[in-house]
């Protein structure tokens, strides 16, 4: 039997699309279904060319506003993948639709901030655009939750990101953050937007998470890489969406009618990092110092530099630390270095010598000494216990 020719129409430049495609791949591997997959060599879809496609089925990204029209007259099975809508009339008619459940994504982020003890919330979205209706759906979900629970909340869409207007956009974002009551928890519509928030917090000198706690959506490793403060992020069920889409197309190719099927996939997790670990701290000195340590703690800083940054004497700062955290400034810096080292040991494949350097230990030997003293084990033993096998 000749394998079916299937077109995958995605713009696989984002982690989400790649995970959807990975899910399709998993399904094919697990079932030994042979599909001859058609994708553009740069993994970007070109909707207008699809009319020429002589194949058996299509799985397409329906967040692309051109998709419904481009695929309308194609008389082969089509499975749509996209964002969920609060209004059922927004879904395409007669096509099975696999959605990331936008309302559940926002709900998970919101519940997380509530659990952290926050009482004020904001949403940082993007300006409305036909290609990102999912962002408006997330914003709508946020408004629905805060209306329903009658809590204090604001929404800000900011400006579209463009190189030219970037300076101004950042200024406006910093001004928006400055005007917000604090402490506050902000849900960013994507990790890319969350990264901009973190950047603005650094510029505006707002302590994250003490003054502003941030949750993104996507769990994008790129955003993690580009932020100094590790970002909490909601993980979409994108692989499961891919598996589901492949299953439905598989059924349709066997003649099963799936035209009315709509599957909403909830988030599969939340990666909790520092950006949302809100703990009420009363002393503004401690808050400012913690913020500084989180940014520069791995660059070999000493108590003196922290005190300089805060603008008080070492003695005063030590007193505040003792009262609030029951620790010295040095201990907090060391803990930050150790936490960062442990995280790198467990979650990356970085060699120990590099980790020692990156975390501000003067030598690998010194990191060994500190590990033995604090954890009663060597970094090597810690690695053997905790390092996760890398995804392939």
Partner 1 sequence: MPVSNATAWGQLPDGRPLHRWTLRNARGEQVDISDLGATLLSWQTPDRFGRLGDVVLGHADAQQYIASNAYMGAVVGRWANRIRGGRFRLDGIDYKVDRNDGGNHLHGGHDGFHLQRWEVEPEADGLVLRLVSPEGDGGFPGEVHVQLRVRLEDDGTLDLRYEATSDAPTPLSLTAHPYFNLNDRRPDIRDHVIRIDADEFLAIDAGAIPVGRQHVSGTAFDFREPAPIGSRLHWPDPQLRLVGGFDHCYLPRGPAGGVVRTVAVVTEPSSGRRLTIDTDRPGLQFYSGQKLTGQAGRQGDTYGPFAGFALEAQAFPDQVNGPEADGAILRPGNVWRQHTRYRVDTP
List the one residue out of 388, 299, 392, 303 whose CA is nearest residue 342. 388
Give the side-chain half-sphere CA count within 13 A for 160. 7
By beta-carbon proximity to partner 1, the closer residue of 108 and 153 is 108
CA distance 84 to 253: 25
Region near partner 1 per CB under 8 A, out of 11-19, 26-34, 330-338, 349-357: 26-34
By beta-carbon proximity to partner 1, the closer residue of 175 and 256 is 256
CB of 237 vs partner 1, minimal distance in Å: 6
* Residue 346 binds partner 1, judged by CB under 8 A: no
* Residue 210 binds partner 1, judged by CB under 8 A: no
Of the residues 139, 218, 240, 324, which one makes contact with partner 1 according to CB under 8 A: 240
* Residue 256 binds partner 1, judged by CB under 8 A: yes
CB of 286 vs partner 1, minimal distance in Å: 21
| Residues in region 43-82 near partner 1 by CB under 8 A | none
* Residue 264 binds partner 1, judged by CB under 8 A: yes
Query: Torsion-angle region of residue 115: left (phi > 0), alpha (psi -120 to 50) or beta?
Result: alpha
Give the side-chain half-sphere CA count within 13 A for 183. 25
By beta-carbon proximity to partner 1, the closer residue of 108 and 329 is 108
Contact assessment for residue 276 and residue 186, using Cβ atoms and an 8 Å cutoff: no
CA distance 219 to 228: 15
Give CA angle at 354 (351, 355), nearest 5°.
85
Burial state string for 47-61 with b = 16 or more CB within 10 A and e = fewer than 16: beebeebebbbbbbb
- Reported as type and span, the H/E element at residue 61 is strand 57-61
* Residue 388 binds partner 1, judged by CB under 8 A: no
Site map 108..147 versus partner 1, x via CB under 8 A: x--xx--xx-------------------------------
Binding residues (CB under 8 A) for partner 1: these are 26-27, 30-33, 104, 108, 111-112, 115-116, 234-235, 237, 239-240, 243-244, 247-248, 250-251, 256, 258, 261-270, 272
């Amino acid at each position: 039997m000749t394998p079916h020719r299937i077109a995958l129409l995605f713009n696989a430049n984002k982690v989400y699309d790649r995970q959807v495609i990975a899910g399709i791949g998993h399904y094919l591997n697990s079932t030994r279904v042979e599909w001859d997959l058609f994708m553009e060599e740069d993994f970007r879809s070109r909707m207008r060319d699809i009319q020429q496609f002589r194949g058996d089925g299509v799985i397409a990204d329906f967040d692309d506003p051109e998709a419904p029209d481009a695929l309308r007259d194609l008389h082969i099975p089509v499975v749509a993948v996209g964002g969920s809508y609060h209004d059922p009339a927004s879904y395409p008619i007669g096509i099975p639709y696999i959605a990331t459940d936008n309302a559940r994504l926002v709900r998970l982020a919101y519940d997380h901030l509530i659990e952290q003890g926050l009482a004020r919330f904001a949403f940082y979205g993007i300006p409305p655009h036909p290609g990102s209706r999912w962002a408006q759906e997330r914003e709508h979900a946020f408004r629905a939750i805060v209306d329903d629970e009658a809590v204090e909340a604001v929404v800000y869409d900011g400006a579209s990101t463009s190189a030219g207007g970037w300076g101004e956009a950042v200024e406006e974002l910093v001004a928006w953050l400055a005007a917000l009551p604090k402490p506050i928890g902000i849900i960013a519509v994507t990790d890319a937007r969350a990264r901009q928030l973190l950047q603005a917090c650094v510029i505006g000198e707002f302590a994250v998470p003490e003054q502003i706690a941030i949750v993104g959506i996507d769990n994008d490793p790129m955003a993690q890489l580009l932020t100094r403060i590790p970002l909490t992020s909601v993980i979409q069920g994108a692989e499961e969406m891919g598996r589901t889409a492949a299953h439905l197309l598989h059924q349709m190719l066997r003649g099963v009618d799936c035209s009315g099927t709509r599957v909403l996939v909830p988030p599969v997790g939340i990666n909790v990092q520092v950006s949302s670990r809100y703990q009420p701290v009363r002393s503004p000195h401690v808050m400012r110092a913690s913020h500084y340590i989180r940014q520069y703690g791995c660059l070999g800083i000493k108590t003196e530099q922290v005190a300089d940054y805060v603008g008080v004497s070492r003695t005063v700062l030590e007193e505040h630390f003792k009262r609030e955290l029951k620790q010295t400034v040095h201990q907090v810096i060391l803990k930050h270095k150790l936490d960062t080292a442990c995280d790198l040991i467990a979650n990356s494949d970085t060699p120990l010598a590099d980790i020692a350097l990156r975390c501000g230990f003067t030598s690998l030997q010194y990191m060994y000494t500190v590990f033995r003293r604090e954890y009663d084990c060597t970094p090597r033993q810690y690695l053997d216990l905790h390092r996760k096998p890398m995804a392939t």
